[in-house]
Chains A and B, each alone.
Chain A
Amino acid sequence: MPEPGPSWDVVADIQLLLQFHFMQNAFLAGTLVALLAGTAGYFVVLRGQSFAAHMLSQVGFPGAAAGVLVHVSPVLGLIVFCVGAAVGIAAIGREVDAGQRLESAAIGSILAFSLGLGFLFVRLYGGSAQGIYAFLFGTILGITDRDVQLTFAVALVTIASLAAIGRPLMFASVDPDVAQARGVPVRMLSLAFLLILALSVAITVQIVGTLLIFALLVAPAASALQLTARQGRGIALSVALSLAFTWLGLALAYFTNVPVGFFITTLAFVFYLAVRLVKTRRTVVAPA
């Protein structure tokens, strides 16, 4: 019997996709990460912290390398570096206007320094760069059952935390002065959000890779926010898009042997581009 390929029979295709255990795990972990990133990403984009998310998804690289170097778990190094960076940005502060500029300058500096450290640790380690490569681009097709369980726990904690602080976080994000006068702990929430983001990124990044986390944290939410200004719908759409890009990306990768990361990032980017183009045309033709 020849190697089975995709057909127009969707049920048969899904059976094909899920016939191996590693693909089942990839779908499970991918789904959980998409749920997590779609939800957290809505707040990332709303708060204008895409650059912070970018930094958090990369700043763990020297942490992981340091972990390997001193023979502790790379996850521990990841967590230390991500949390340290989150506290670093929050300490810079987010005052109106100037704070945004201060924040992005601080992020740029921290990110460059962390990449420099990463190179140093890799050189000191002197071993194969294979592990580092896996870290950056993900090993979503080599996920163990334990990884799936860990991802499940992280997704659960992250989404539950966001549900708990979501409303005041929204208030603090869109109208910090009024929120503060109404008794919302604005700076504490800013730090709390970055810490939630840092911890969830640190743990999931070594499972699905930097590239995927960052792609799913920004592009689906950015598209969703362009399509609706309703909060509930925005979060739901952001999650739905994350799931669609992840599932489709995994399926395409399985049938074509092209890396998953390429498909998921491309789908997310093309969709975002299309949304922006349609929106721009609409504004030019009929200004609101």
Chain B
Amino acid sequence: MGALQLDHAAARLGGRLIWTEVDLEVQEGEFVAILGPNGAGKSTLLKALLGVVPLAEGSVRVFGRPVRRGSDEIGYLPQRRRFDPDLRIRAVDLVRLGLDGERWGMSLPSPAKTNRVAEMVELVGAAAYQDRPIGELSGGEQQRILIAQALVSGARMLALDEPLESLDLNNQQAISELIRSICQTRGVTVLLVAHDINPILPFVDRVVYVAGGHLLSGKPQEVIRTETLTALYGTPVEVLHTSDGRIVVVGQYEPVTHHPDDH
């Protein structure tokens, strides 16, 4: 069964057409990277399948059903920089909110829920710092907690918006490996928006490139090529391979390589 299916989809934000004629199918258990220049509509794609941004045209189905906001099947990690350092809430409480934070009424003690939260904290390797305030954790530690939060309600799909942004190289590597392992061992479908393909290149099954109002998907080596991207952008771009195996896309509105001072 397809995990995600978009048919002739189009999205509009503030009256502006972001992308149109999008057909995309993602299989269950696939690890897909979503790439493209800023403002191309990568985050909008995630928000469309979360049901947060309604489609202007076409349809989107997740696990065979029309999308709805608040579904337990998709775990979401929004684009952000960091939690406020003064936010004095335990990391483990943040994970717990992913389980039943949307419910009204008081939270009563529940061993089943506590166990479920503990299992996820263990899975992402965050047990050592689960009782510390979230604001005091490092960027990599915060991302692990957020992945646990996204998974805790039993999500079969992860929608991750730039989870590697603002992490150092070691943490980018470690978080990519963690996501790959969750994908493989639990059969979770992963859609990961990235600014830079390089840290995740060894792990992804497929890339989806969003640019010029359209979308192109395939194996990384098929999609990230000078000819295909030039056709997609509608302006000349060039794909370079550095001697250490990194891929750099030049000539687009802004380079796809990592910019620490981005935003």
B103 located at the interface, meaning its Cβ lies under 8 Å from any Cβ of chain A in the complex: yes
For B52, the chain A residues whose CB sits under 8 A away are: 180-181
How far, in whole Å, are A167 and B94 apart by their CA atoms in the complex? 11
The residue from A164, A165, A179, A231 contacting B89, defined by CB atoms under 8 A apart: A231
Known: A174-B87, A229-B133. A167 touches B80 (CB 8 A): no
How far, in whole Å, are A7 and B136 apart by their CA atoms in the complex? 46
A182 located at the interface, meaning its Cβ lies under 8 Å from any Cβ of chain B in the complex: yes
Interface residues of A in 220-270 (CB under 8 A from B): 225-226, 228-231, 234
For B70, the chain A residues whose CB sits under 8 A away are: 181-184
For A46, the chain B residues whose CB sits under 8 A away are: 88-89
How far, in whole Å, are A226 and B104 apart by their CA atoms in the complex? 27
The reply to whether B136 and A170 contact each other, CB–CB distance below 8 Å, is: no
For B77, the chain A residues whose CB sits under 8 A away are: 178
How far, in whole Å, are A288 and B133 apart by their CA atoms in the complex? 11
A171 located at the interface, meaning its Cβ lies under 8 Å from any Cβ of chain B in the complex: yes
The reply to whether A168 and B101 contact each other, CB–CB distance below 8 Å, is: yes
The reply to whether A167 and B105 contact each other, CB–CB distance below 8 Å, is: yes
B contact residues, range: 20 to 34
Interface centre among A46, A163, A183, A228 (most CB of B within 10 A): A183
How far, in whole Å, are A168 and B134 apart by their CA atoms in the complex? 18
Interface residues of A in 142-182 (CB under 8 A from B): 163-168, 170-171, 174-175, 177-182
Q: How far is the CB of B120 from chain A (nearest CB, A)?
A: 15
- In the complex, how many residue pairs between chain A and chain B have their CB atoms under 8 Å apart? 88
The reply to whether B76 and A171 contact each other, CB–CB distance below 8 Å, is: no
The residue from B83, B90, B97, B106 contacting A171, defined by CB atoms under 8 A apart: B97
The residue from A171, A226, A288 contacting B101, defined by CB atoms under 8 A apart: A171
Scan B54-85; emit 1 where CB is below 8 A from any A CB, else 0. Answer: 00000000000000011000001110100110
For B176, the chain A residues whose CB sits under 8 A away are: none
Known: A181-B69, A183-B69. A230 touches B90 (CB 8 A): yes
The reply to whether B93 and A230 contact each other, CB–CB distance below 8 Å, is: yes
Interface residues of B in 198-224 (CB under 8 A from A): none
The reply to whether B76 and A288 contact each other, CB–CB distance below 8 Å, is: no
Q: How far is the CB of A156 from chain B (nearest CB, A)?
A: 15
The residue from A182, A229, A288 contacting B88, defined by CB atoms under 8 A apart: A229
Known: A181-B76, A229-B88. A170 touches B97 (CB 8 A): yes
The reply to whether A175 and B104 contact each other, CB–CB distance below 8 Å, is: no
How far, in whole Å, are A165 and B106 apart by their CA atoms in the complex? 8
The reply to whether A229 and B90 contact each other, CB–CB distance below 8 Å, is: yes
The reply to whether B50 and A179 contact each other, CB–CB distance below 8 Å, is: no
For A177, the chain B residues whose CB sits under 8 A away are: 76, 78, 80
Known: A167-B106, A178-B78. A184 touches B88 (CB 8 A): no
How far, in whole Å, are A66 and B25 apart by their CA atoms in the complex? 64
For B102, the chain A residues whose CB sits under 8 A away are: 168, 171, 179, 182-184
**Cβ-closest chain B residue relative to A180:** B52
**Cβ-closest chain B residue relative to A226:** B88
The reply to whether B132 and A288 contact each other, CB–CB distance below 8 Å, is: yes
The residue from B69, B76, B93, B105 contacting A231, defined by CB atoms under 8 A apart: B93
How far, in whole Å, are A48 and B89 apart by their CA atoms in the complex? 13
By a beta-carbon cutoff of 8 Å, the part of chain A in contact with chain B is 46, 48, 96, 163-168, 170-171, 174-175, 177-184, 225-226, 228-231, 234, 288
Sort A-B residue pairs by CB-CB distance and give the 4 closest, nearest first. Answer: A183-B70, A171-B101, A177-B78, A229-B133
User: What are 5 A-B contacts with C-beta separation under 8 Å?
Assistant: A177-B80, A179-B97, A181-B78, A182-B101, A183-B69
